[in-house]
Each structure stands twice: as C-alpha cells, then as structure tokens.
Amino acid sequence: MRLYAYEAGQCDVKRCTARKLIRLGVVTPLRRLKEIPKSTLLLSPLSDKALSQEDKNARSITVFDCSWRRIDEFSAFLRRRNARALPFLLAANPTNFGKPFMLSSAEALAAALFILGHVERARAIMSKFKWGDTFFKLNEHMLEAYRRAKSSVEVVMAQERFMYDFGFMAAKRRRDR
C-alpha cells in the first residue's frame, strides 16, 4: 500500500511528522492538490464515512498535512467520495497530547494502517518518533476494536462507546440541547 502526504505548508517544520516521514522515505510527498490520486483513501476529519475494513483493498492512503486551525480552507476537497474519517483516538504527539481527534499526520497514517490490518507497518511508522509507542498505549483498545469492526457503521458504534466511556458523549448531549 502506497502512502502519500499532501503538504499544505502550514505547519511548524520542526514538529511536522509528515515531513519527517517524507525525509525517511516512508511517505511520498504531494505538493499540489491535482497530484493526489483519485482512487486513494483520503484521510479527512470532515468526511461523513469512517475508515473500516470495507476499505482494506485500497491501494493507497493520503494524509492531508495542514494546520488544524486552517482545515476549513480545504473543506470542499476533504469531502471527496473516497475521503474517510478516522474514529475517536487520542493524540500522543507533544503538541496535542491527550486531545481527541487531534492526530499528527504520522498518527493518522499509523491509525489507518492499523485499522486496515497492517499492524506491523503502523508500528514501524510510529517507531520513528520518541512518543510513538505512547500512541499505541493510549489507543490500544480502541484501535483493536476498530480493526475488528467489519463496516463503517460498526466503527462508528464502537467510537460512540469509547466517547461515552471518556465522557465526551455526555458533554456533547448537553451542548446539543
């Protein structure tokens, strides 16, 4: 499975996990939106469909490396037909440690690979970072549950259980009233 990273050039070069993976030859860089393969699974927090075993035959995964503060600039592109959202996971990177959904590009790629059954490759990616093993320790039970889920619907159901366990569903319900 090929791995790509679209670089929007918005992040801190010293902290950018996508750039490190590119430098190490793990990921192929993409500098223009037109370069993103049409058939790739595009990891997008704005997608309506969760990544699941339904996507296991994909030939490539593309992570969209941009600032979380400026992601809305790409909202139309990130809602493509083949875009997939990662389920609830906690960040282990030093910038967003412990924050839900705020994964670095490396964490997003590793999570996607894990969920699709490429566990060793996911671990190999995170081994490039001092905090990489922490990502798996924080998310071990969730990643295993998402990997066992057969469909996007099952992933979302598992996600809701974890969010409830972590107290996020109760807070969301209070805000929705």
Number of domains in the chain: 1
Residue 20 Cα distances to 71, 90, 121, 140, 151, angstroms: 21, 21, 16, 24, 32
- What's the predicted TM-score (pTM) here? 0.88
| Domain interval for residue 142 | 2-176
* H-type alpha helices, 26-130: 105-115, 119-126
Strand partners, 30: 6
For 22-64, the pLDDT digits (tens) are: 999 999 999 888 898 989 999 988 888 999 999 999 999 999 8
**Which one, of 81, 91, 37, lies nearest residue 59 by Cα?**
37
